[in-house]
Amino acid sequence: VTEEIVGEDLDAKGYGGVYGVGKAATCPPRLIVLEYTPPDSEEKDDIETVALIGKGIVYDTGGLSLKPKTGMPGMKSDMCGAAGLLGGFVSAAMIGVSKRLHLVLCLAENAIGPLAVRNDDVLTMHSGKTVEINNSDAEGRLVLADGVSHATTYFDKLDLVVDMATLTGAQLIATGKKHAGVLTNTAELEQRAVAAGLQSGDLCYPLLYAPELLVSEFDSKVADMKNSVKDRGNAQTSCAGHFIEEHLNASYEGGWMH
């Protein structure tokens, strides 16, 4: 572990997404960074550097956009993106992969209470962009947005950003229960993901990548964007990924996979 930012420090340092989602919980939100450097890295200049960004919502009530009684049970598993990447990170370190790895865990409980973020609130994200909350139950993209911004701002010589999450129920409609939906900014990365899924058994299938057509779903009159789409029938899963993509540092030119 190389860095841990907790509670009010998140607010002070500009992580408005992670802080806003988790500030109503008894256990404060936090952003944790781990790093792995391969043993032979000093002898090589061409080692790929990868940042893994995990959604770790340890429980999701939906916040003030409260989930119904049948929709909330099981939401202790809304941290599976962070848990899965932590497992992958540890496994990669144990077998000594020849890549530099950064792991960013975006951890919060989406609780209800007097301090909970409200629909109509405007959050200032780590990227500097502002987000009007129109659905407090679209919280995963908020914490991941801060995570990818952190990675693309502070990690040197970064080649690839991978974020992973239990993000939208719409994914089940897009790619079903056996294939993860994958959204990437290059065809080469899309092909790598599908091939890796076929080899490992963790199957995935490409989602529509069309930010020029979809980011307008988040248009806001009072902020840079809203956090939830206006038309839930318009490639909603892709839209959620594009929201995260909007918070990559503007100077970052590498690959991105959601």
Any idea which residues carry the catalytic annotation?
Answer: 67, 141
Residue 166 makes CB contacts below 8 A (sequence gap 6+) with 55, 77, 78, 80, 81, 140
Work out the burial of residue 50: count CB atoms within 10 Å of its CB; fewer than 13 is exposed, 13-18 middle, 19 or more buried: buried
Residue 151 makes CB contacts below 8 A (sequence gap 6+) with 51, 53, 102, 104, 158, 161
Work out the burial of residue 161: count CB atoms within 10 Å of its CB; fewer than 13 is exposed, 13-18 middle, 19 or more buried: buried
